[in-house]
Amino acid sequence: MRNKQSKKIDIPKWGKYLRGRWRERFASHLSLEEQKEIGMDGFLWHLCSWEKVECLEKDEAINAFLHQTKHKCTIFYQFVDEAYLFENASALSMNDVPYKKDDMDYSDMYVMDWDEHWTFVMTHETACGPYFIQTHKTSES
């Protein structure tokens, strides 16, 4: 990473937890049955490919990710429980993301900011994604 203050921390076994948080934050407007119907039990990103959430795609998604304020964010995968926490990640770029296209287990990757206001998703499907979802920030009551 270009920013020497940035820090990457391995958080093994967090994948399942983070996938649950992602589903809760970005797909909670769908019932569990609706989530199953679009195949979210297999791939969370089906939320985007089935157009069940407002999102950016392809170059627009990449551009949105690159221009996001990234204080702290997590990176996790669809099929493995390995995950990472990036702190002071303002300079985090596509080259810094631990993404292994040739290894199918790592080929569906999710970046989510710590406050769960946005997510960037890269899929194994060349015709699908990447995707970027940004939630509307709500004021704390």
Query: What pLDDT does residue 140 have?
Result: 42
Cβ atoms within 10 Å, residue 73: 23
Residues above pLDDT 90, as percent of the chain: 68
Which tokens hold the place of 94? 């596509």
Amino acid at position 1, single letter: M
Q: What is the DSSP string of 85-116?
A: EEES-TT--GGGS---TTSGGGSSEEEEETTS
Strand partners, 40: none
Q: Which residue has the higher pLDDT, 85 or 137?
A: 85
Q: Report the 3 state secondary structure along 19-61.
A: HHHHHHHHHCCCCHHHHHHCCCCCCCCHHHHCCCCCCEEHHHH
Provide mean pLDDT across the span 117-141: 82
Distance CA(17)–CA(14), nearest Å, equals 5
pLDDT digits (tens, 9 = 90+) for 9-57: 999 999 999 999 999 999 999 999 999 999 999 999 999 999 999 999 9
Name the burial class of residue 50, with classes exposed (0-12), middle (13-18) and buried (19+) by CB atoms within 10 angstroms of its CB.
Answer: middle
| Structure confidence at residue 101 (pLDDT) | 54
Q: Check residue 1 and give its pLDDT.
A: 44
pLDDT tens digits, one per residue of 86-106: 998 887 776 666 666 555 567
pLDDT tens track for 54-83: 999 999 999 999 999 889 999 999 998 989
Q: What local confidence, expressed as pLDDT, does residue 133 receive?
A: 98
Q: How confident is the model at residue 139 (pLDDT cuts 50, 70, 90)?
A: very low
pLDDT greater than 90 at residue 116: yes
